[in-house]
C-alpha cells in the first residue's frame, strides 16, 4: 500500500470522465481544480465529472479548489507571445489593447509608488528579468536584463513592492462559492502571508452553507509566509509548498532547504503537507521522467511529504496517466527507506502532550506486535491525523460516518478511510473494526490496534487496545498490550 498521496490537477488533458477514471485507477487520491483558468461552466462540469468518476471507482477522492489570489499578471499579447532581448525597453502600462515587443498591460492595482528605479521585475517562472528604468504616473519603463519568451497572462513579480491586497478578493470568493456549491473538500488559498489571511477566509467559509465541511490549505509561495509559518499552520488544515512562485520569492539556492524545513514544521504540527510544482515537468511531452525529476519526487517522500502534486503534467500534458503511474512507482520504491525516528523523537510539537502520548502508544504497540493496521474511529479526522503524523509502518484506517471527513483524509499520508457508523459498545467496535480491515484487503489472521475515545461521544482519544491474537513470539509485546489496554466494556469513537 502506497502511503504518499497523489494530487493531480485537472485540465484539458484530463477533464473528461473516461480519463478521470483512468487517473483514479492509476493511483490519484485527490484532484485539484485551478480557478485561474477556465469558465464557470467548465468548472462546474469538471467538478461533477470528478465526483461521478470517484463514485464509480468506489474511492474517497478529495477535490481541492485552488483560487487565484492576488497574483499580478500581464495582459494579452497580440501574437500570443513575444521574445524580449537584453538591453531593450519594455513598457508596463494600464492600456487594455494587446501588447507587443514594445509594451504590455500590467494588471496592477496602481502604478503610484509600486516600484522605484532599479527595482527588479520578473516574468513567468522568473527566467525573464527586467529592471525599472523610469517611473511614470501610469506606466513603468523597464529594461530587459535577462531575455526570453513571454506569453500572454504570464505572472508579473515585483519583489520589492509592498502590495497589501486581500488574498481572498472578489474573484476568489465567486470561485469559492461555485466550488462549495459543487462540493469541493478543500479551498487552497494562494499567496498567504500570515495567519490573519486564513482567519478572513475561514470566517467567509463558515458563513456559507456547507462551509464547515471545507478545509483550508495555505499555499506557501511568499517569503513573508516563511516567517509566519507556525501561525499559518495553527489555522490551516494543511499547507502546499508551491515551489514555482516560492522559488522566485526566495533565493533559488535556498529553495530545497526551505522545502525541507516547511515539511518538517508541518509534520511536527500534525498538519498535512503537499509538495508541488514541476515534479515531473518533462512528462508534459515525454512518456518518462528525467532522472533529476525521479530524484526530486523521492526526496519529497524522504522529507516526509504527505502528498506530491502534478500541475501541467496532468492538466495539459500528453501523458497524464503515465505521470501518475510514475509518481506511484517512485513513491512505493522510496517509502521503505523513510526513517520516522527524527519525527518521533522531536519534542517541539505544539500538539497537546496527552494526545501525542496516546498516538505514540498506539504506534509503539502496533509495531511491537506487527499489527496489520491501526484503526481510528473518528468524526473530524483528528485522531487519524495524530497517529499518521508518526508515520507508522502499517496503514492507519480511519472509520467515519462522515463522507466529508473521509474525503478530506485522502490527502493525509498513510491513511485509508472507510465508512462506518458510530459505535457505543466497545465489544461491537472491536469486532466491526477487524471485519472492516479484513474487507479492505489489509490481510487476515494478525492483530490490529484500535485507538478511540472512551466514552465515544465527544471525548478525546484516550484508549489503545489490541484486537485479535498477537504473534506467539511476542511475549513482551503482549505484556505491553496488557499494560496499555483499559478494561471498560463500553466506548465511543
Out of 4, 201, 265, 277, pick the active-site residue.
277
Out of 73, 143, 264, 370, pick the active-site residue.
73
Residue burial 11-28, b: 16+ Cβ < 10 Å; e: rest: bebbbeeebbbbbbebbb
Question: In whole angstroms, what separates CA 237 from the centre of its chain?
Answer: 9
Radius of gyration of the chain (CA): 24
Known catalytic membership, residue 136:
no
Q: Where are the beta strands (DSSP E) in 253-370?
A: 272-276, 307-310
Residue in the block written with cell 489555522: 235
Known catalytic membership, residue 277:
yes
Which positions ≥6 away from 95 have C-beta within 8 Å?
103, 105
Known catalytic membership, residue 143:
no
Max Cα–Cα distance, the chain, nearest Å? 81
Residue burial 416-448, b: 16+ Cβ < 10 Å; e: rest: bbbebeebeebeebbebbbebbbebebeeebbb
Secondary structure of residue 34 in the 3-state scheme: strand
Out of 219, 364, 385, 430, pick the active-site residue.
219
Comparing CA positions, the residue from 226, 228, 234 lying closest to residue 257 is 226
Which positions ≥6 away from 58 have C-beta within 8 Å?
none
Out of 32, 202, 222, 235, pick the active-site residue.
32
Query: Among all residues, which ones are annotated catalytic?
Result: 32, 73, 219, 277
Amino acid at each position: 500500500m502506497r502511503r504518499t498521496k497523489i494530487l493531480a490537477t485537472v485540465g484539458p488533458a484530463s477533464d473528461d470522465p473516461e480519463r478521470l477514471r483512468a487517473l483514479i485507477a492509476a493511483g490519484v487520491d485527490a484532484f485539484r481544480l485551478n480557478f485561474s483558468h477556465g469558465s464557470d461552466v467548465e468548472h462546474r462540469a469538471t467538478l461533477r465529472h470528478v465526483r461521478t468518476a470517484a463514485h464509480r471507482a468506489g474511492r474517497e477522492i478529495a477535490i481541492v479548489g485552488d483560487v487565484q489570489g492576488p497574483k499580478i499578471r500581464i495582459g494579452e499579447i497580440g501574437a500570443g507571445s513575444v521574445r524580449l532581448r537584453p538591453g531593450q525597453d519594455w513598457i508596463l502600462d494600464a492600456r487594455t489593447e494587446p501588447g507587443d515587443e514594445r509594451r504590455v498591460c500590467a494588471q496592477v492595482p496602481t502604478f503610484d509608488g509600486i516600484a522605484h528605479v532599479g527595482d527588479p521585475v520578473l516574468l513567468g517562472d522568473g527566467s525573464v528579468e527586467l529592471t525599472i528604468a523610469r517611473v511614470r504616473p501610469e506606466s513603468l519603463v523597464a529594461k530587459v536584463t535577462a531575455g526570453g519568451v513571454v506569453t500572454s497572462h504570464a505572472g508579473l513579480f515585483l519583489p520589492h513592492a509592498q502590495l497589501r491586497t486581500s488574498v481572498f478578493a472578489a474573484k476568489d470568493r465567486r470561485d469559492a462559492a461555485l466550488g462549495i456549491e459543487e462540493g469541493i473538500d478543500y479551498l487552497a488559498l494562494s499567496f498567504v502571508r500570515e495567519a490573519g489571511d486564513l482567519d478572513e477566509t475561514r470566517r467567509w467559509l463558515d458563513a456559507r452553507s456547507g462551509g464547515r465541511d471545507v478545509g483550508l490549505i495555505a499555499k506557501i509561495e511568499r517569503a513573508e509566509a516563511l516567517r509566519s509559518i507556525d501561525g499559518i499552520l495553527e489555522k490551516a488544515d494543511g499547507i502546499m509548498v508551491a515551489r514555482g512562485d516560492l522559488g522566485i520569492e526566495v533565493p533559488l539556492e535556498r529553495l530545497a532547504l526551505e522545502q525541507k524545513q516547511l515539511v518538517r514544521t508541518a509534520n511536527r504540527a500534525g498538519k498535512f503537507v503537499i509538495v508541488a510544482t514541476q515534479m515531473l515537468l518533462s512528462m508534459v511531452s515525454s512518456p518518462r521522467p528525467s532522472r533529476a525529476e525521479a530524484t526530486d519526487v523521492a526526496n519529497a517522500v524522504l522529507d516526509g511529504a504527505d502528498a506530491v502534486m502534478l500541475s501541467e503534467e496532468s492538466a495539459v500534458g500528453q501523458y497524464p496517466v503515465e505521470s501518475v503511474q510514475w509518481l506511484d512507482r517512485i513513491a512505493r520504491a522510496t517509502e521503505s527507506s523513510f526513517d520516522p525516528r527524527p519525527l518521533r523523537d522531536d519534542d517541539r510539537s505544539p500538539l497537546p502532550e496527552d494526545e501525542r502520548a496516546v498516538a505514540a502508544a498506539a504506534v509503539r504497540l502496533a509495531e511491537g506486535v506487527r499489527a496489520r493496521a491501526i484503526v481510528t474511529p473518528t468524526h473530524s479526522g483528528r485522531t487519524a491525523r495524530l497517529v499518521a503524523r508518526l508515520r507508522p509502518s502499517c496503514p492507519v484506517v480511519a472509520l467515519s460516518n462522515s463522507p466529508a471527513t473521509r474525503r478530506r483524509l485522502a490527502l493525509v499520508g498513510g491513511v485509508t478511510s472507510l465508512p462506518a457508523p458510530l459505535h457505543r459498545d466497545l465489544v461491537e467496535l472491536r469486532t466491526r473494526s477487524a471485519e472492516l480491515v479484513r474487507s479492505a484487503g489489509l490481510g487476515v489472521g494478525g492483530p490490529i490496534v484500535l485507538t478511540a475515545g472512551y466514552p465515544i461521544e465527544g471525548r478525546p482519544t484516550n484508549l489503545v487496545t489490541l484486537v485479535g491474537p498477537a504473534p506467539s513470539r511476542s511475549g513482551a509485546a503482549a505484556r505491553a498490550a496488557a499494560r496499555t489496554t483499559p478494561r471498560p466494556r463500553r466506548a465511543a469513537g
